[in-house]
Structure 1
Amino acid sequence: MSSHPPIPTRVVLLAGPSGSGKSSFAARSGLPVLCLDDFYKEAGDPTLPLVPGSSDIDWDSTESWDMEAALAAIVELCEKGRTNVPVYSIVTSARVGETALDIERTPLFIAEGIFAAEIVERCRDLGVLADALCLRGRPSTTFRRRLLRDLREGRKSVPFLLRRGWRLMREERGIVARHVSLGAHACDKKEAMGRLTAAAAGRRVKARATS
């Protein structure tokens, strides 16, 4: 009987602007994935914030997201290998069910979403953080990818998507800078995959200096 302790499960937090390719990258990684967008608050919640000077709900504000529930799910996955996750419909802005996410004894998983960087420090303090990444690219490319996805999925009305899209394109560099300030490493998908490989092997990668 082996005397080695079990390998602890840790999380790679994958942040980045909406439309930066987080979900597709996470899917291609082959690792289990926790979608942090499933922890959005529901329409009608009185704590939902509005875009300043508008009647639009600001779904890009951390106040639209249940941070504590998302963090609890990450910790439970790391400790038990299983957790229950809400199924959230962005189209209706409502939870439409619940599903069990079971990663068994997988030593590494990804938690991805636009708010992932907000919990970098919390995950580090809890000893469950393997790495924190922020995917970045050209704002114009992100704008196009985001708009095509949202239109295809019918996420919100066209006027809303256009207003949000233009606003996020103007703010994208600031969004990436904030994620970096919270502890995420900004990189493209190639470098991100390299860091995932290192994390899976139990190695720590130093952040490269950025200009």
Structure 2
Amino acid sequence: MATRETQALIIDTALALFNRHGSSNISTNRIAAECGISRGNLHYHFRNKAEIVYAIFQRISHAMHDEWPADHLEPTLEHMAKMYVRQSMLILEFEFFYREMAALLRQDSLLRRRYREHRERRIDAICRFLTTLAEQGIMDFGADRAMLRPVVIATWIISDNWPNFVEFSGREFDAEAICQGYDMILHMLAPYITVGFEDVTRTSHETIHALVAELPRDALASAG
């Protein structure tokens, strides 16, 4: 196989194994065996497991920064609900990383630095989106303008951790669970939303249920 194809195979295989068993329980030998390649071939592409984890994180970063750059061009509360579903699906796709994030970042200074850069860029993008909502008259931060960034950080923490909370509660991560997590974000933003909050909540739930209904049948199967 070509180098890129082999690297993609290794990353795809490692991601599936990490999600299923946890990264600490999977060796590079196991990954190589599952790929059907030699250990030496794997180490030609990735010197160790940390490099594989870093390559997986680059996929996360790519999705957020290269595929989600135009959110501010759709400044609606409906699109904000779509953003939350999209983030939830990303977390499920890379669930081991979000489960093990604290340990992974502590172990790898390069990964920690890149994560910080990634986080700051994404927080800036969300601030830009909410600022555009304010320009459209949908939100109003007024004298609380300085609260924009802290509020965004708080919503980031909720969205990153809600799937884990649902899973460890023994519940199914379905459309209703996604709505409950999103409700927390809406309540944090409620003081700044200028339109009817009940209407926003109802429309958001309808949007989330419609989006989840369009997902592949097994899209939520890995959670809960």
Answer whether TM exceeds 0.5 for this pair: no
Normalised by the size of structure 1, how large is the TM-score? 0.32
Which has the higher relative contact order, 1 or 2, with Cα contacts under 8 A spaced 6 or more apart?
1
More helix per residue: 2
More strand per residue: 1
Normalised by the size of structure 2, how large is the TM-score? 0.30
